[in-house]
Structure 1
Amino acid sequence: MKKIIHMSVICAGAIALSLTVASAKDNNGNGYGKLKDFTKYTPLTLSANSDEWDASAPWKLPEGYTQRVVSDETDLNIYPDGRDDWHDMNVVNETGKNAGRYMYRTHEVRLGRGDDVVDSIGGTVSVVDLETGASSIIAQSTEYTALDGIDWTPWGTVVFAEETTGGSFFELILNDNMISGTVIERPAVGRLAHEGIQLDKDGNVYVVDEHRGRTSGCTDSVTGETMIPCGGGIYKFVPATYGDLSAGELFVLGFPEGNRDGTGQGAWLGPIDPETAREAGTKKGGASYQRPEDLEIIDGILYAAVTEGPRDEYGKEYYEGRVLAIDLETMKVTNFVKAGVNVPVEMGKPGEDGHQTGFDSVDNLAKAPNGELVMVEDNKPSDIWFASTQTNEYGASKSVKLFASLTDPGAEGSGIYFSPTDPETLYVSIQHSEAEDGDGTWAITKE
């Protein structure tokens, strides 16, 4: 049965933002906008030290870049009494009327845990009018928890999901005003610990199971036995009808001929039962990764951030996470970015003796308008990296550069995003900031 929840809109004022940017031209007079200059920067050599923290400018950036608040808890404080709003993933209305004007954000608050919401507020999706700066709530329910992944569909709706075991997948049907709408649950897409969501031009939906599949495993609902590895997979939902997520078939990424640490010649296996997608996917032969978190499609390649590496018998990671590249035509799966291969291994923390800046706990992904992959870490300090999609013979990026680093102690960056209608601005959220009411969404631009 479809679960339909009607939403009311709660508005709050916010400062207006200027979206006017100057165009740029190359030596031949061809316009290319500001972004090609954006990606031409001198990479940082060191991650941020929390001693450098300035709450008004929390990102350590290359020379020539500026940062500003898009909307934070001083504009829209959803969870009062000192509780963090946990701003997470971002997307704008990428197509249609007023494309690029409205930014939709999930808030990763978990019901009843720690200082998170325990009353009648529930999980929330917020919206920011990037033209006026007004922030408001567009979807809220006491049944929502840990809202995480969010994306814009080719048919003009917003999809979002929960990052909990057996979490739900939802579609937000927008009203004409773009700041209110109706939410419909879409169980056919799969009940999983959702984070990354991507849609291709054919309307297929790609999702992940944010689960430590290599070590945590799961319980067989039939026999009661523990299955390890289990879950932590990458999935593809094929709608029965384009633009209709109410019915279709769900598949899981697997390696029928074997694999090397989750790479090799892959295939979509299934269909599988969406109600028990984690368990059913494993039984069908799906690969298990250690906390896959986000997805991004660039030129027919599905990139998947796997936040942790597999662990040895003592619980120590063999490596610090990686980004996979899945060619959606050939289904070949390779390691695209991996610490110790094409980016340094992080050692220690900034300020400590022997510290080495490196790649650790990659979390969210974005497509830069010049075609590069942008990555932000779920780590302290939280670094932002750019990776060229040009690869060597083994499928690894030929160039991975450090762009920014978060100085806010204890906080992490999330929801990194370039709007296709605004290539001059890199959006990124900050969650569980040390600053009072410091969670929010930031915009980084070049002077």
Structure 2
Amino acid sequence: MERRSFLRGAVIGTSAAAFGGTLWQGAASAAPAQPGPGPYGALGPADANGIQLPAGFTSRVIARSGQKVAGTSYTWHNAPDGGACFADGSGWIYVSNSEINPSGGAGAVRFSSTGAITGAYRILSGTRTNCAGGKTPWNTWLSCEEVSLGYVYETDPWGVNAAVRRDAMGRFKHEAAAADPVRRVVYLTEDETNGCLYRFIPTTWGDLSSGTLQVLVAGTATSGSFSWANVPDPDGSPTATRSQVSGAKRFNGGEGCHYANDTVWFTTKGDNRLWQLNLNAGTYELAYDDSLVTGGSAPLTGVDNVTGSSSGDLFVAEDGGNMEICLITPDDVVASFLRINGQSGSEITGPAFSPDGRRLYFSSQRGTSGSSSGGITYEVTGPFRA
């Protein structure tokens, strides 16, 4: 099976991937994605929100840090970061972390079936530098602390149940999480220049209170085979989790992480790479590396959060770069999807699709001011391909 054919089925939603689609049956290898024309065409001029989009797409501002979300009593948090969407009857909920220290935490906005905002509220408080995270198949949000000896907190997107600290998932500089319902594990990235990639195996799937933390073991090359080894002391003290297992593979600044259909994609900001783990084959390779772009400048730099659409496209947000969200198609083409103008002191965070795939949510963490109090959260609507 060619990698491009695999990718088209692979980036469907996590829950769908557990029950349908063509599963990967072998280790295909391909050169990292290269620039080319995107499926939606060129970016148009900036709209009233300063966002350049392809023809047929529109944007709106959902929330601004320090201001009440329209029609609600909730003041949107500073430095909005990682996010995800959850189905809520005929509507949905978008959750968003707050990457500040102290206070951190996470908030949520609820939408009706028409996209109207119907509520906003806090779902996590009293934590530090909540950067990225991940959605679980049982519809909770894992909010990760990007600090030394940070924790993972399991939160309720509806704001009904109290958040729970999940100590067994390890203490390190957490970034993102991606649940794998087939192997019943959660993958975790680490934002250190010599960080690792981990997986947590719960004792009981759906209950993250206990389990085993493992680290990926592999060679120093950019492709090859890998295995997993237990981390002896997940609490990371006195020895950091990344320093406990000989042969643990090092990654330069782990960031976003996305699972679908027997594959994990994760980004490393220190070298502007998108990595791919082929789980059935037990191999890894580069899906994108800006230093390997040929025939022109790299459209994607400052790689950060990553998510997928039902079409098989990966959407990668930039921390810096040109303040773009770029997409990588199943045919290994990388192209700009949108660009935010006038916000060079910020970064794009929290890309996530509504359950129907028609709306993309994301934030500019520091907005036009370059300050954590200037965050802006957006929605883009348009003809996303199915």
Which TM-score bucket, shorter chain as reference? 0.7 to 0.9
**TM-score, reference length from structure 1:** 0.69
Q: What is the CA RMSD across the aligned residues, in angstroms?
A: 2.6
Aligned 1:103-118 pairs, distance under 5 A: 103-111=94-102
The change in CA–CA distance for 1:182 and 1:267 in structure 2 (over 3 A counts) is same
Tell me the equivalent position of 2:212. 249
Aligned 1:209-220 pairs, distance under 5 A: 209-213=190-194
| Secondary structure of 1:188 counterpart | helix
Higher relative contact order (CA 8 A, sep 6+): 2
| Secondary structure of 2:162 counterpart | strand
Deviations, residues 91-121 of structure 1 (Å, cap 9, x unaligned)? 1224xx526521111111122xxxxxxxxxx
| Secondary structure of 1:405 counterpart | strand
**TM-score, reference length from structure 2:** 0.79
Q: Distance in 1 between matches of 2:294 and 2:270?
A: 15
Kindly indicate whether residue 318 of structure 2 is the aligned counterpart of residue 335 of structure 1: no
Q: 1:162·1:168 contact (CA, 8 Å) conserved in 2?
A: yes
Aligned 1:158-197 pairs, distance under 5 A: 158-173=141-156, 178-197=158-177
Aligned 1:408-423 pairs, distance under 5 A: 408-419=343-354, 421-423=355-357
Tell me the equivalent position of 1:85. 78
| Secondary structure of 2:148 counterpart | strand
Deviations, residues 201-258 of structure 1 (Å, cap 9, x unaligned)? 1431111111111xxxxxxxxxxxxxxxxxx111000001111111110111111xx3
Kindly indicate whether residue 268 of structure 2 is the aligned counterpart of residue 269 of structure 1: no
Tell me the equivalent position of 1:441. 377
User: Which structure's CA Rg is the greater one?
Assistant: 1
Q: 1:93·1:99 contact (CA, 8 Å) conserved in 2?
A: no
Identical aligned pairs, as a percentage? 23
The change in CA–CA distance for 1:359 and 1:376 in structure 2 (over 3 A counts) is same
Matching residue within 319, 326, 329 for 1:388? 329
Matching residue within 244, 250, 255 for 1:283? 244
Tell me the equivalent position of 2:189. 208
The change in CA–CA distance for 1:100 and 1:234 in structure 2 (over 3 A counts) is farther
Q: Distance in 1 between matches of 2:145 and 2:212?
A: 20
The change in CA–CA distance for 1:371 and 1:404 in structure 2 (over 3 A counts) is same
Q: 1:251·1:271 contact (CA, 8 Å) conserved in 2?
A: yes
Q: Distance in 2 between matches of 1:326 and 1:75?
A: 41
Q: Distance in 1 between matches of 2:156 and 2:382?
A: 35
Q: CA deviation at 1:332?
A: 0.7
| Secondary structure of 1:154 counterpart | coil
Tell me the equivalent position of 1:372. 313
Q: Distance in 1 between matches of 2:213 and 2:298?
A: 40
Q: Distance in 2 between matches of 1:85 and 1:135?
A: 18
Q: Distance in 2 between matches of 1:239 and 1:280?
A: 18
Q: Distance in 2 between matches of 1:376 and 1:57?
A: 18
Q: Distance in 2 between matches of 1:295 and 1:246?
A: 22
| Secondary structure of 2:236 counterpart | helix
Q: Distance in 1 between matches of 2:287 and 2:228?
A: 20
Deviations, residues 43-73 of structure 1 (Å, cap 9, x unaligned)? 449xxxxxx877x412211222211112223
Q: 1:380·1:410 contact (CA, 8 Å) conserved in 2?
A: no
Tell me the equivalent position of 2:12. none
The change in CA–CA distance for 1:363 and 1:267 in structure 2 (over 3 A counts) is same
The change in CA–CA distance for 1:247 and 1:148 in structure 2 (over 3 A counts) is same
Q: Distance in 1 between matches of 2:325 and 2:92?
A: 25
Q: 1:344·1:357 contact (CA, 8 Å) conserved in 2?
A: no
Tell me the equivalent position of 1:400. 334
Q: 1:105·1:150 contact (CA, 8 Å) conserved in 2?
A: no
| Secondary structure of 1:70 counterpart | strand
Q: Distance in 1 between matches of 2:317 and 2:86?
A: 22
Tell me the equivalent position of 2:133. 150
| Secondary structure of 1:192 counterpart | coil
The change in CA–CA distance for 1:344 and 1:307 in structure 2 (over 3 A counts) is farther
User: Matched residue pairs, number?
Assistant: 333
After alignment, is 160-169 or 127-136 more displaced? 127-136
